[in-house]
Structure 1
Amino acid sequence: MQPNIVLINCDDLGYGDLGCYGSEKNDTPCLDALAAGGRRFTDFYMASAICSPSRGAMMTGCYPPRIGFGSFHGEIVLFPGDCMGLHPDEVTMADVLKNAGYRTMHIGKWHCGDQKEFLPTSHGFDDYYGLPYSNDMAISEKNVNYPPLPLVHGTVVIEQQPDQRSLTERYTEKSIEFIRESGRNPFFLYLGHLHVHLPLYAPEHLVKKSRNGDYGACVMAVDWSTGAIVEALKKYGVYENTLILFTSDNGSRNDFGESNGILRGGKGETWEGGLRVPFIAHWKGKIKPSVSSEMICSLDLLPSLAKIAGGEVPGDRILDGQDLSDLILGNTEKSARKVFFYYLHNTLEAARAGEWKLHVAKPRVSRDDEELTRDSSAVPKPRVDDSVEVRELYHLAVDPSETHNVYDEYPDIVEAIMKEIRRCREDIGDALTHTAGKNVRAIGYAENPKPLTEYKEDYPYLVAMYDKTEVG
């Protein structure tokens, strides 16, 4: 029998933000129970430390530059009304599962393009309900002429400037509705939470309970949602035939109550805190309680889920993901993944091989050299792919915080990883060395693009709830 698959993807949730990953500030009993009854991974990576590239990569099983998602005409993410998006010819995990007989549904944040040909319903999902991009891309008191934030059902805008305090509850209700309507048919539910991306709009009753302010309340909302979905799976008799996966699109910012634990850096950086994120796999009766410290990444989900679901991966293109289904299910303790590449935009900044990580590039202006402040105007912004060469080697097994550079002590390890880096540069490309990849595909382009919404002076927008200045 094909298992149901529920993939829950948070926005900017840090490595140290869950109790089961060491948080002492955020209350996450449902997620802690999910991890205790399943398989928790300590070394799971997203393919980018930024929203759009991370999500496009996870959907396709390819590093962002391979699918044209390294950068977007000099921008780091896609914006409302962008002419670019995930190419219609790309094959997503939803395509693979739909072809295997699954009902497919995406609820929440998409961020792979907001034009019709880029939306989830053009990429393997039977239906869609959510925000097509980040929750900070909305009108506010400081920018009233921004296109109002659209809540989309299918391809139609059904609401503008929705109250973000209630969106997690609405997403959860839609998720449960999809589970109920699926009956005994195999289904794939991809839930992309708006939390904990800035600005933080948490339900008031959770703010009152939180030990970590608005941020902790948003984490609690995600935890509640996960628990409600698990209870729905049990109620409708499909819990024991459902694989539940939980993760985050990249690391957290570290400056609004977030935590990447012992990891250095955060969102937008290729230090471990930018790409190493929580990952929990839970399947009652199939996955035994365990912890894995083996290397695995989001690119591996597409081929792994294809194997688990009895689907087929596309054979007419290069994928960077590997079938690690046995590792996810706990049938093996060894990962077949030998190397992982850390891209920031189109620059190959680092690579990990086994327990070793080699940094070869960093932005000319780095957050690591700055004092983070809530006054964003005081923080220098690096330009996309404006990088400098660095030489830093870290032994992650004993130094996960990347504090002791041992580059000069292990020349053989450096050369072995450099060999992989040179191969990757030729294959996918690298802005630092001005190398054009030989095996990259084009991003999608839409003719005559326009935002899904347009600001109108006489429309009763909910501006009061969009008065926070923080953006993420």
Structure 2
Amino acid sequence: MKQIVFIFLSMLVMGCSLKKQEPDSKPNFIIIFTDDQGYSDLGCFGSPNIKTPNLDRMASEGMKFTNFYAQTVCGPSRAALMTGCYPMRNARNDNGDVPHPKLSLSEVTIAEVLKPVGYTTRMVGKWDLAGHNPEQFNPNLLPMHQGFDTSFFTPGSNDSKVHLLRNNQLVEKNADMSTLTKRYTDEAIDFIEKNDEQPFFLYLAHTMPHTKLAVSDEFKGKSEGGFYGDVIEEIDYNVGRIFKKLKDNGLDENTYVIFTSDNGPWWIKGDHGGNSAPLRGAKTSAWEGGLRVPCIIRAPGKVAAGKTVDQVLATIDLLPTLAEIAGALIPTDRVIDGLDISDILHGKSTELDRSFFYYQHHILRAVRKGKWKLHLPHSPDSTSIVYEKWPIHSAPEDRVLFTKPMLYNLENDIAETTDVAAENPEVVAELTKLLDWAKEDIGHLGARGLNAGPLGTEPYFTPNNIIPVKKLN
């Protein structure tokens, strides 16, 4: 009898020691955002040589999205994710002449939407919304001023170096990039551990697999997919660590985890670039390989397990969707381009009427509606980075300039090989009207649309060397 009582009491103690949110509490949200990961760089998306058991398990326990879109380069993609808007629509604290926006404080981020309904928020990883160069950024536009309670991040890209900040203070210059995937995950796990009794939003934006590639010794030389495969397999392992922490802390059934990438892969010969097959194109292009990315969403008991969804969805849908699930309000004083897809996630609907517009920095390139995608003719502008530098990031056969509208049936021709505009004039006419609307409402080339946010006049911060910055009052 004493032994039974002891076991019962031990179980009670163990249960009490395990912090656990109430079953009817608001759910947690974790967005894991990789950098330049190709459409087919996961086992569950068809990779023949990169092993991703944790993400494959995530897909089998959640939903896999095969027509999910981001933007074509880093900064715009992050702006779209955070605001639910096409980047051309965003208000910016710059003159709009560079691809990577310095996102204005007037914009409302996912974190700012969730905080009023009780969420604690944290940003870890690559920010890239205050300046792309890690030594030239606006300190007023860092995560702490965009709705995040705490942060551990690099302000820009890892083209050559990474400087790390904690909140608004520099903590490390020239960090060892081979440690970043693990260190970011350590920070994420610490945040989960400290906030497991209240709803939280964690935005984990990995630096990898953006070049300069780096991987820890534990994973170096282990993947059949070469150096790039090593990097992806290390990310996969660390995704597994996050799921373990959620389960250990009793949060697994109350947490939506979203895994996706900011754009397609670099077109790089050798084993430093990813794979967008069977899609055409790569990062910086408006081909499918530039914007269509792998996406998995898992929430046990809420999101159906093992389901593949083929509706056209996008990162811009996450802000309105998370707001709906959390019972939060979205801004009503501006246009939000994203759609609430919570009914699709929860299996209540499969219907979605939407058009998706493909922007290449400030240039409107194409539109998709249903199975149809129409590319606009190109009008070369020699002063634009899009024409000066971006073509080198695509394979030679993908650098073509269209002299007429080109129509593709993505249902039958996912690789965009055969123009069928001549056989479908009514489709071309319908999609052309959508493109005309986007030019007027969102913007195109040098003209910002009727419902686009303004460009800022505040001077941006360009020090010779990165320095500690003070938090705004």
Scaled to the shorter chain, the TM-score interval is 0.7 to 0.9
Check 1:307–1:96 CA distance in 2 against 1; reply closer, same or farther (3 A cut): same
SS of the counterpart of 1:206? coil
Check 1:294–1:169 CA distance in 2 against 1; reply closer, same or farther (3 A cut): same
Which residue of 2 is the match for residue 28 of structure 1?
A: 52
Does structure 1 conserve the Cα–Cα contact (< 8 Å) formed by 2:40 and 2:47?
A: yes
- 1:19 offset after TM fit, Å? 0.4
SS of the counterpart of 2:376? strand
- 1:184 offset after TM fit, Å? 1.5
Does structure 2 conserve the Cα–Cα contact (< 8 Å) formed by 1:40 and 1:279?
A: yes
- 1:168 offset after TM fit, Å? 1.0
CA distance in 2, matches of 1:180, 1:252: 33
SS of the counterpart of 2:325? helix
Check 1:174–1:61 CA distance in 2 against 1; reply closer, same or farther (3 A cut): same
Which residue of 2 is the match for residue 120 of structure 1?
A: 143
Does structure 2 conserve the Cα–Cα contact (< 8 Å) formed by 1:86 and 1:443?
A: no
1:267-346 map, 5 Å? 267-289=283-305, 290-336=307-353, 338-346=354-362
Check 1:251–1:363 CA distance in 2 against 1; reply closer, same or farther (3 A cut): farther
Which residue of 2 is the match for residue 136 of structure 1?
A: 159
CA distance in 1, matches of 2:393, 2:216: 31
Check 1:448–1:210 CA distance in 2 against 1; reply closer, same or farther (3 A cut): closer
CA distance in 2, matches of 1:407, 1:278: 28
Which residue of 2 is the match for residue 461 of structure 1?
A: none
Partner residue of 2:176 out of 146, 159, 163: 163
Task: Tell me, yes or no, if structure 1 residue 402 matches structure 2 residue 419.
Answer: no
Does structure 1 conserve the Cα–Cα contact (< 8 Å) formed by 2:283 and 2:394?
A: no
SS of the counterpart of 1:311? coil
Does structure 1 conserve the Cα–Cα contact (< 8 Å) formed by 2:94 and 2:460?
A: no
Check 1:25–1:440 CA distance in 2 against 1; reply closer, same or farther (3 A cut): same
Does structure 2 conserve the Cα–Cα contact (< 8 Å) formed by 1:109 and 1:130?
A: yes
- 1:346 offset after TM fit, Å? 1.2
Which residue of 2 is the match for residue 236 of structure 1?
A: 249
SS of the counterpart of 2:82? helix
Q: Which amino acid aligns with 1:320?
A: D
CA distance in 2, matches of 1:292, 1:35: 11
Bigger Rg, which one: 2
CA distance in 2, matches of 1:195, 1:171: 11
TM-score normalised by length of structure 2? 0.85
- 1:436 offset after TM fit, Å? 4.1
Task: Tell me, yes or no, if structure 1 residue 63 matches structure 2 residue 63.
Answer: no
Structure 1 window deviating more from structure 2 (151-160 vs 440-449): it is 440-449
1:363-378 map, 5 Å? 364=380, 365=387
CA distance in 1, matches of 2:95, 2:255: 36
- 1:397 offset after TM fit, Å? 0.7
Name the % identity.
Answer: 39
Which residue of 2 is the match for residue 357 of structure 1?
A: 373
Structure 1's unaligned 5+ residue stretches are 79-84, 139-148, 374-378, 456-472
Check 1:250–1:370 CA distance in 2 against 1; reply closer, same or farther (3 A cut): closer
Which residue of 2 is the match for residue 265 of structure 1?
A: 281
CA distance in 1, matches of 2:111, 2:456: 18
Partner residue of 1:54 out of 52, 77, 81: 77
SS of the counterpart of 1:285? coil
- 1:369 offset after TM fit, Å? 7.9
SS of the counterpart of 2:422? helix
Structure 2's unaligned 5+ residue stretches are 1-24, 131-136, 381-386, 468-473
Which residue of 1 is the match for residue 14 of structure 2?
A: none
Partner residue of 1:439 out of 433, 437, 451: 451
Q: Which amino acid aligns with 1:29?
A: P
CA distance in 1, matches of 2:437, 2:58: 39
Q: Which amino acid aligns with 2:364?
A: L
CA distance in 1, matches of 2:259, 2:83: 18
Check 1:397–1:368 CA distance in 2 against 1; reply closer, same or farther (3 A cut): farther
Per-residue CA deviation, residues 139-163 of structure 1 (Å, 9 max, x unaligned), is: xxxxxxxxxx320100100000011
Structure 1 window deviating more from structure 2 (95-104 vs 201-210): it is 201-210
- 1:370 offset after TM fit, Å? 6.8
TM-score normalised by length of structure 1? 0.85
Which residue of 2 is the match for residue 81 of structure 1?
A: none
CA distance in 2, matches of 1:371, 1:131: 24
CA distance in 1, matches of 2:53, 2:389: 33
Task: Tell me, yes or no, if structure 1 residue 87 matches structure 2 residue 104.
Answer: yes
CA distance in 1, matches of 2:123, 2:115: 12
Check 1:199–1:286 CA distance in 2 against 1; reply closer, same or farther (3 A cut): same
Q: Which amino acid aligns with 1:426?
A: E
Which residue of 2 is the match for residue 37 of structure 1?
A: 61
RMSD: 2.5
SS of the counterpart of 2:218? helix
Check 1:329–1:366 CA distance in 2 against 1; reply closer, same or farther (3 A cut): farther
Which residue of 1 is the match for residue 127 of structure 2?
A: 110
1:204-215 map, 5 Å? 204-215=217-228
Check 1:96–1:68 CA distance in 2 against 1; reply closer, same or farther (3 A cut): closer
Check 1:18–1:451 CA distance in 2 against 1; reply closer, same or farther (3 A cut): farther
CA distance in 1, matches of 2:462, 2:447: 33
Per-residue CA deviation, residues 412-453 of structure 1 (Å, 9 max, x unaligned), is: 00001111111111101112xx65411111244543613483
